[in-house]
Amino acid sequence: IVAIYFAQFRENVYVNAAFKGMRPAVVALIVSPIVSLSRGMGAWKYALAAAVALFVWWSGVSPIWLIIVAAGVGVAIELYNSRKHVER
């Protein structure tokens, strides 16, 4: 429903200008939590994030697949560590 109304107003000069004006605010809303979360990261995590970003850009792989794989690896590592801790 929203897409139908959006298509009608997209050609409006004022609405188009408003959306162009919102772009910097949207970027700021996305970047702000990234910056605040990254303050505690070490240098190797910055390098890893840059490498993953370059990989996504270079290969064209959807970032959602990398997020799913990373979640799976994280769960596997946590399960391994919890079992290792229980055995002691």
Tell me: the pLDDT tens digits for 38-59?
A: 787 778 888 888 898 899 999 9
Percentage with pLDDT > 90 across the chain: 31
In the chain, where are the structural domains located?
1-40, 42-88
pLDDT value of position 88? 58
Arithmetic mean of pLDDT over the chain: 85
Contact 61, 55 (CB under 8 A): yes
Select the more confidently predicted residue: 70 or 39: 70
